[in-house]
Amino acid sequence: MSFADHTPLAERMRPKTLDEYIGQGHLVGQNSVLRRTLSSGNIPSLILWGPPGVGKTTLAQIIATLVKRPFYTLSAINSGVKDIREVIEKVKNQGLFGGGSAILFIDEIHRFSKSQQDSLLGAVEKGTITLIGATTENPSFEVISALLSRCQVYTLKSHTKDDLEGLLQRAVASESALQRKKISLLETKALLKLSGGDARRMLNCLELVISSANEDELVITDELVTSLVQQNLSKYDKDGEQHYDIVSALIKSIRGSDPNAAVYYLARMIEGGEDPKFIARRLLISASEDIGNANPTALVIANAAFDAVERIGFPEGRIVLSQCAVYLATSPKSNSTYMAINMAQGEVRNSGDLSVPLALRNAPTKLMKELGYGEEYKYSHNGEGNFQSQEFLPKEISGMRFYEPGNNSRELKDRQKLKELWKEKYGY
């Protein structure tokens, strides 16, 4: 049997046990919460949330094997309410009384409509099925609250460089078809870069290089990988191949104030069949992260675009997305509020839980009042211009500046106003 006749390398390398599983030590490592839950055999319904290629499907299959339950799988791309009901009826007819429910794995559950998700509720509530849903999108936005409340959400992290390099070394050293070809990994940087953190994509790239080279002995170099893989990369693939590359290009084009490139990458996503709400969410993030207070209306426009797309769908929704993308690309740019929260969170992690000044504390009890809680607080609206100078930060970081107004007309006015109010305190 030739190399090309085999099951894809990514499938051949799929782990069968938790000990073979790559990464996600916070979930499946020794003494982790999920591993302890699995050892009990009594697992709840789960939502596995994480980027493509980090092992959501694999983990679901391992879980089913460990708890010795019947395992059914559906894809939200090509399954509907009818398919869900058929699985539920099949499970009922098998009579799993008292023996634990069957596991129903639904890939890309975020693509299920409300009615499709509703059809799962009864079976999940009664324990007929234990649901394991996989999603690349935040389940808080995409899974109905009634279903989400009945599930534990586990977040899977992107693979690290060590995870991916370890997987490459394991494939070359232990996979029988690769062993016969005598593959040597001299360089891995190109494979890691092309993978985008997606283990499945990385193994697909490796297999493509090996099959394209068609040699019994092969030394993998970055130059070889780049020359062979880039000739064969597919167009935009909403299921993972260039998904995040195109999204990244769209956002960076908006950030770089290039409406032409922004519309081009938007078109790539639309023609690739991308979920319009996914695009609208990314535009919302860009409106706040990259434009922010340089043009606060951008966030309002992006939010309105999201609502409009959700109501009218495609194909008309593409016009709304185009209007929004062009508006964002041509808006003045500022990441000042994004940098401010990053800096503030860094300070919180560094300094810990500093004491809130007594003047700012609530005093609901007599004891708290006696201790001076809120006693020296100055009600800002009683001051001239609705302002009174007082200390709001913990004393250990008094005067620390987190918000640095951007170099644009609106935030320059903010800077001047803050300087007038706080004088030299924050150094504006």
**Domains of the chain as residue ranges with CATH:** 24-155 (3.40.50.300), 161-229 (1.10.8.60), 243-330 (1.20.272.10), 354-422 (1.10.3710)
Which of 3-12, 311-320, 321-330, 409-418 has the lowest average pLDDT?
3-12
Residue 100: per-residue pLDDT:
53
| Closest-CA residue to 110 (of 53, 148, 81) | 148
Over residues 203-232, the pLDDT tens digits come to 888 888 888 777 778 888 888 888 887 655
Q: Is the pLDDT of residue 98 over 60?
A: no
pLDDT(1) > 50: no
Using a pLDDT cut of 70, give the percent of the chain over it. 93
99 pLDDT above the threshold of 50: no
Mean pLDDT of 30-50: 84
Instruction: Specify the residue for token string 């032409």.
Output: 260
Give the chain's mean pLDDT. Answer: 83
pLDDT at 243: 65
Asked if residue 354 lies in contact with residue 396, where contact means CB atoms within 8 angstroms, the answer is yes
- Rounded-to-integer distance, Cα 105 and Cα 132, Å: 5
- pLDDT single digits (tens) 256-310: 888 898 998 999 888 777 888 889 999 999 999 999 999 999 999 999 999 998 8
pLDDT tens profile 111-123: 887 888 888 888 8
Average pLDDT, integer, range 402-423: 88
Mean pLDDT of all residues in 40-46: 83
Largest CA distance in the chain: 86
pTM of the model: 0.55
What is residue 153's three-state secondary structure? strand
pLDDT of residue 239: 52
pLDDT at 248 over 60: yes
Work out the burial of residue 424: count CB atoms within 10 Å of its CB; fewer than 13 is exposed, 13-18 middle, 19 or more buried: exposed
The string over 169-206, giving b where at least 16 C-beta atoms fall within 10 Å of a residue's C-beta and e elsewhere, is eebbeebebbeebebebeebebbbebbbbbbbbbbbbb
- pLDDT of residue 5 exceeding 50: no
Q: Is 57 left (phi over 0), alpha (psi -120 to 50) or beta?
A: alpha
pLDDT of residue 3: 42
Q: What is the average per-residue pLDDT within 72-82? A: 81
Res 238: pLDDT: 52
Query: What whole-number distance in Å separates Cα of residue 266 and Cα of residue 93?
Result: 47
